[in-house]
Amino acid sequence: MVEVTVTPRSSLADRPVQIRVRGLSPSQLVTLRAWLKDEQGERFQSRAFFRADGAGEVDPGLHAALGGSYSGVWPMGLLWFLQPDTLFRRLVKRDVAGSPFRVRLEVLDGLCLGADPPEAPLASCEAERWFVGPGVQRVPVREGRVRGALFLPP
């Protein structure tokens, strides 16, 4: 049974996570796909192609991506290389304190190049990426022409 995990499942957006896939056949070719929808409902996604090791596992922190949105060893590549489905859109989080980005990770059999995979994923999971930690206070700043926010730790 194929399983994909993200550790930790809920974390701050600037903290690294470990993505691992287990239960594949040795040397099986798979596509790892990450996608999310922003606050306006726009989808951003990335994908990377991997060949499972002898134990049937894929770890983007150890195994090089063979292509897709990036190539080489990038532990956080699936999250760093998210691209919009619609050109000229930017991934921006406006409500930084109220809700996380929910990133869906999927393992697809073989090379999947299309925006929408034709088959169901072999495995999937969801990770939360928060922008403000628990207890952090947000103070609006308006001084002269300066506009911003000050985030104070608990």
For each of the domains in the chain, give its residue range(s) and CATH number, in order of start: 3-152 (2.60.40.2240)
- The first and second tokens of residue 35, run together, are 């996608």
pLDDT at residue 117 greater than cutoff 90: no
Residue 115 in this model has a pLDDT that exceeds 90: no
What are the strands, taking DSSP E only, across the chain? 3-7, 10-12, 18-22, 29-37, 43-51, 67-68, 83-84, 101-109, 123-130, 137-143, 146-152
- Single pTM value for the model: 0.89
> pLDDT confidence of 144, banded at 50, 70, 90?
very high
Mean pLDDT computed over 75-92: 95
| Mean per-residue pLDDT, 38-66 | 97
- Geometric angle at alpha carbon 25, from 23 and 29, rounded to 5°: 110
pLDDT digits (tens, 9 = 90+) for 15-29: 999 999 999 999 999
Dist CA 142 CA 147 (whole Å)? 5
Q: Give the pLDDT mean for 67-94.
A: 95
Which of 107, 75, 112 lies closest to 1, judged by CA? 107
Q: What is the pLDDT of residue 86?
A: 93
CA 141 to chain centre: 31
Looking up tokens 């903290």, which residue turns up? 15
**Residue 5 — pLDDT band, cuts 50, 70, 90?**
very high
pLDDT of residue 98 exceeding 90: no
